[in-house]
Amino acid sequence: MLGFFKRRRRRQLLAEPFPPAWQKIIERNVRYYACLPEPDRRELHDLVQIFLAEKSFEGCGGLELTDEIKVTIAAGACLLLLHRQTDIYPRLITILVYPSAYFAKAALPIGGGAALEGEAIHLGESWSSGVVVLSWDDVRAGASDIHDGQNLVLHEFAHQLDREDGAINGTPLLVGRSQYVAWARVLNTEYERLQRDSRLGRHTVLDDYGATNPAEFFAVATECFFEKPRVLKKRHPELYDELKTFYRQDPARLLPIGPTPPTEELT
């Protein structure tokens, strides 16, 4: 019954035209939008309308929320949902937005299973309790440059996709046993490769923060897939193909050619 009422509410919502002011915000702040074909833009509009109607936002650290903030975040989050059957982040309830980087509690491992409690500067977080936390300055910076491989919204919402099966382990909900087998083989191999490159100090197209654990690897790989797709496809073709299958998108075909990274990065 709840499913019926949700579907009816969404149909009613999508019967309303997409606000022109929201489209201008997306065009201005989310540079990837310009690369999308028109059918994808229309699909993104629908996803954004539902996202903004069903998720709550809260300004933190004195930040006053505006449509620009909410629409920019929603558009970035919904880019990950194009072409996929989705209930639009069903575990997500609230997005907390700080004006810039913020302090949050952190535990620093000190060996022997012990950890030192303290505070650390954060740009964003994705919690299992249905909360995403973001720095607005970093959201805006990441969305405005589609070639730097850094996009806070893509990163944190990839974590939300990872959590949809109840566990955050670098493996989101997939289709069928064969896809799980291929995903495990490719992602584990690439994760171990990044760990090895990180230990040896080698620069790679993937940010070495992805060597932290499999969940961070998936989030970092997602950023790279959408922002450095040609280099990723060339240097990590199997990883690119797994992400292409999961996201049902091919950014290497859509994105304009950007700056070529230095040779030492191409590993």
The pLDDT tens digits of the residues spanning 209-249 come to 999 999 999 999 999 999 999 999 999 999 999 999 999 99
Mean pLDDT of 19-38: 96
What pLDDT was estimated at residue 162? Answer: 96
Lowest mean pLDDT among 76-85, 96-105, 163-172: 96-105
111-137 as b/e, with b when 16 or more CB fall inside 10 Å?
Answer: eeeeeeeeeeebbbebbeeebbbbbbe
> Quick one: 141 and 192 in the same domain?
no
Q: Is 82 exposed, middle or buried (0-12, 13-18, 19+ CB in 10 A)?
A: middle
Identify the band that residue 1 occupies on the pLDDT scale cut at 50, 70 and 90: low
**Tally of structural domains, the chain:** 2
Q: Is residue 242 part of a domain?
A: yes
Mean of pLDDT values over 180-204: 96
CA dist 95 → 47, 64, 89, 186 (Å) = 16, 14, 12, 32
pTM, 2 dp: 0.89
Q: Which domain holds residue 186?
A: 171-267
CB-CB neighbours of 167 under 10 Å: 12
Q: What is the pLDDT of residue 106?
A: 61
Q: Which residue has the higher pLDDT, 142 or 264?
A: 142
Q: Quick one: tokens of 248?
A: 């049902």
Considering the domain architecture, whether residues 142 and 258 belong to the same structural domain is answered as no
Reduced 3-state DSSP string for 77-94: HHHCCCCCCCCCCCCCCE
State mean pLDDT over 250-255.
93
Work out the end-to-end distance of the chain between its first and last CA atoms, rounded to an integer number of angstroms.
51
In 3D space, the residue among 207, 86, 72, 79 whose CA is nearest the CA of residue 134 turns out to be 72
- In CATH, what number is assigned to the domain containing residue 62? 1.10.472.150
Res 117: pLDDT: 63
Query: Are residues 53 and 183 both part of a single domain?
Result: no
Q: What confidence tens digit (pLDDT) does each residue in 74-92 have? A: 999 999 999 998 999 999 9
